[in-house]
Amino acid sequence: MVNLSAFEANFKNFEIPEELTELVKFQDSIADDENFADQFYIGRDYSDKSGISGYSDDEGFTGSIIEFAMADGSGSTYAFWVRNNDKNLSEAPVLAFGSEGGIHIVARNIRELLQILTFDVEPAIGWDDIYYYKDEDEYEPTEKTEEYKKWVLEKYGIETTENPDEIVKNAQETYDEEFRNWLKTYYDY
């Protein structure tokens, strides 16, 4: 079960998107220690900003990044990017922070991330790029992925994707230049 007070601490002055609250409820409804998307997990307290402060500890940076979930098994995370002090996180772009470095736009909003999760693989995050790869000969579905796909379709009408990299590409075409220009004010990459 997710410790909601610890999870809510990540959001301070922001309202948690309804989609994320419902995803927490879904995660809590499945059996303990079973995932619904490869290595994805919601519920950790990121409010100390220790994961992202290695890029910059400037308040303008840390106040504009809200981490909310584990993206892979090595410590990479998903986060919202708060653009122009917009408090509507449901429409905030989603970033992936690699545990070994690299920050990338992955989705234009939380619903696109929900669709990426239907692909059921963890992201490969490097300094220069991010991608989702599934070797059909080696792939083993996560325990509760079928329940998740059914839930997200019924709840939000989100279809399963077979090409999450297309979602990433579209999100990057929309936000990457703006994000990179913003990031340069805090981090020289």
* Average pLDDT value for the chain: 93
Q: At what angle do helices 110-117 and 18-29 cross, to 10 degrees?
A: 30
What is the predicted pLDDT for the residue at 97?
A: 96
Position 174 scores a pLDDT of: 98
pLDDT in tens, 103-123: 999 999 999 999 999 999 999
Q: What is the pLDDT of residues 119-144, one digit of tens each?
A: 999 999 999 999 999 999 999 999 99
Domain boundaries, the chain: 4-133+140-184
Check if the beta carbon of residue 9 is closer than 8 Å to that of residue 49: no
pLDDT at 96 over 70: yes
Question: What confidence tier does 35 reach under pLDDT thresholds 50, 70, 90?
Answer: confident
Q: How would you class 184 by CB atoms within 10 Å of its CB: exposed for 0-12, middle for 13-18, buried for 19 or more? A: exposed
pTM: 0.95
| pLDDT surpassing 90 at residue 3 | no
**Confidence (pLDDT) at 39:** 94
pLDDT at 17: 95
Is the pLDDT at 6 greater than 80? The verdict is no
80 Cβ contact partners less than 8 Å away, ≥ 6 residues apart: 65, 66, 68, 89, 92, 93, 94, 95, 110
